[in-house]
Amino acid sequence: MSEEKKSGRGAVLASLLLSNYSIYPGAILTSILLVEMADTFDASVGAVSQIKTLSSVFAFVTAVAMGALSVRYSPERLLAAGLALLCLSCLGSGAAPSLWLLFTFYSLNGAAANVVFPTLTSLVGEHCPPETRARVMGWIGASGGLSYM
């Protein structure tokens, strides 16, 4: 295998690891900051904790839609769209002036996660030879776990 091809795979792997890592911090921070969010928006902790439920509903709907989307669009486009959706979710959630806008933007986080992760696995299959796929998927799983540290 040529050196150029190997370095290209290294760059792909690095971008996939970072993409997977980027999915988790929003959920982690929401768990940590739940009480502060409730105080900020003058709402009960129980009401604000429903933000995760709403995100899960959007994640489920997106997971169903990914079947059709993955046939129609390339994995690279889907990954870019998922990461753009994640950025919109993070920026909108951080700047949300009301609880309803926070719920709206944060729900996009669940949708983005369900666009990014399946696309990552398809890109691994596309860019990695069969003998290295298991190791690459292990690295991708570890990158998600690292976001919890």
pLDDT tens for each residue of the chain, 149 residues long: 445 455 567 777 788 888 877 777 777 888 888 999 999 999 999 999 999 899 889 999 999 999 899 999 999 999 999 999 999 999 999 999 999 999 999 999 989 989 998 898 889 888 888 998 899 888 888 887 777 77
Q: Is 139 left (phi over 0), alpha (psi -120 to 50) or beta?
A: alpha
User: How many beta carbons lie within 10 A of that of residue 146, not counting itself?
Assistant: 12
Two structure tokens written together for 74: 């390339």
Q: Could you say which DSSP state residue 33 is in? A: T
